[in-house]
Amino acid sequence: MIKRLKKFELLVKEKYEKGLIRAPIHLSGGNEKPLIKIFKDIKRSDWVISNWRSHYHAILHGIPEKEILKEIIKGKSMSLNFKKYKFISSSIVAGGIPIALGIALGIKRNKKKNKVHVFIGDMTFETGVFHESYKYAKNFKLPINFIVEDNNLSTNTPTKYAWRKKSKIFKDIKYYKYKREFPHHGTGNWILF
Ligand SMILES: Cc1ncc(C[n+]2csc(CCOP(=O)(O)OP(=O)(O)O)c2C)c(N)n1
Ligand SMILES: [Mg+2]
- Any domain includes 165: yes
The verdict on residue 114 lying in a domain is yes
φ, ψ dihedrals at 35, nearest 5°? -70, -40
Does ligand 1 have an atom closer than 6 angstroms to the CB of 92?
yes
187 in any annotated domain: no
The structural domain count of the chain equals 1
Closest CA to 103 of 155, 47, 65, 64: 47
Planar angle of CA 141, 110, 135, nearest 5 degrees: 20
Side chain identity at 149, as an amino acid letter? E
Is residue 155 assigned to a domain? yes
Q: Which residues contact 163 (CB under 8 A, 6 or more apart)?
A: 126
CATH at residue 9: 3.40.50.970
Residue 192: what pLDDT? 66
Give dist(CA 173, CA 87) in Å, integer.
20
The residue ranges of the chain whose pLDDT is under 50 are none
Q: What is the pLDDT of residues 7-16, one digit of tens each?
A: 999 999 999 9
183, part of any domain:
no
Q: What distance in Å separates the CA atoms of residue 21 and residue 36, rounded to the nearest whole number?
A: 27
In a domain, 189, yes or no: no
CA of 173 relative to ligand 1 center, distance in Å: 20
Residues contacting residue 104 through CB under 8 Å, at least 6 positions apart: 115, 116, 137, 142, 143, 144
- pLDDT reported for residue 140: 97
Helix (H, G, I), strand (E, B) or coil at 99: helix
* Structural domain span for residue 31: 2-177
Atom of ligand 1 nearest to the CA of 93: 26
For the stretch 61-96, pLDDT in tens is: 999 999 999 999 999 999 999 999 999 999 999 999
- In-domain check, residue 185: no
Buried b (16+ CB within 10 A) or exposed e, 143-171: bbbbbbbbbbbbeeeebeeeeeebeeeee
Whether residue 161 lies inside any domain: the answer is yes
Query: Which residue, by CA, sits nearest to atom 14 of ligand 1?
Result: 121
Predicted confidence at residue 189, as pLDDT, reads 87
